[in-house]
């Protein structure tokens, strides 16, 4: 006979929010998001996509910029990391017990601590 106080454990964790990629709606980007951009009323707006959608989303943004006569520039790496930090921090506030988010934030913070690489002078080469 089963003990009624014993809880059946499953892989489902209702306390952990799943964030779907807005482009494909298939991937969970809770801890593996990639910042991209799109034009909203002629202004670049950041949104987060999955790894599989990132290149296509950036290409769509580039094409939109060209069509609207807006100069396209790649998103700098450090700016991408700052955007990711904010994205993960927001999710961590919603699910503070999710260890995956803590690990993702630690990795972003580690990468942000790395300083930009200085160009070596020709005399040093």
Per-residue pLDDT of the chain (125 residues; tens, 9 = 90+): 445 444 444 555 555 678 899 999 999 999 999 999 999 999 999 999 999 999 999 999 999 999 999 999 999 999 999 999 999 999 999 888 889 999 999 999 999 999 777 777 766 55
Tally of domains within the chain = 1
Integer angstrom CA distances of residue 14 from 17, 87, 96, 97, 108: 7, 20, 13, 12, 26
Residue 89 lies in a domain: yes
Nearest alpha-carbon partner for 49 in 90, 83, 82: 83
Q: Domain range for residue 84?
A: 34-113
Residue 96 lies in a domain: yes
Residue 48 lies in a domain: yes
pLDDT score of 37: 96
Residue 67 lies in a domain: yes
Residue 5 lies in a domain: no
Residue 108 lies in a domain: yes
Residue 12 lies in a domain: no
């Amino acid at each position: 006979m089963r003990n009624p106080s014993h809880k059946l454990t499953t892989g489902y964790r209702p306390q952990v929010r799943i964030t779907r990629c807005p482009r494909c709606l298939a991937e969970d980007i809770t801890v593996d998001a990639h910042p991209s951009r799109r034009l909203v009323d002629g202004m670049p707006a950041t949104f987060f996509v999955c790894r599989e959608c990132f290149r296509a989303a950036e290409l769509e943004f580039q094409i939109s910029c060209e069509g609207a006569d807006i100069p396209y520039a790649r998103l700098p790496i450090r700016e991408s990391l700052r955007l990711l930090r904010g994205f993960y921090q927001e999710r961590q506030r919603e699910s503070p017990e999710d260890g995956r988010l803590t690990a993702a934030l630690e990795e972003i913070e580690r990468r942000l601590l790395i300083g930009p690489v200085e160009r070596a002078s020709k005399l040093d080469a």
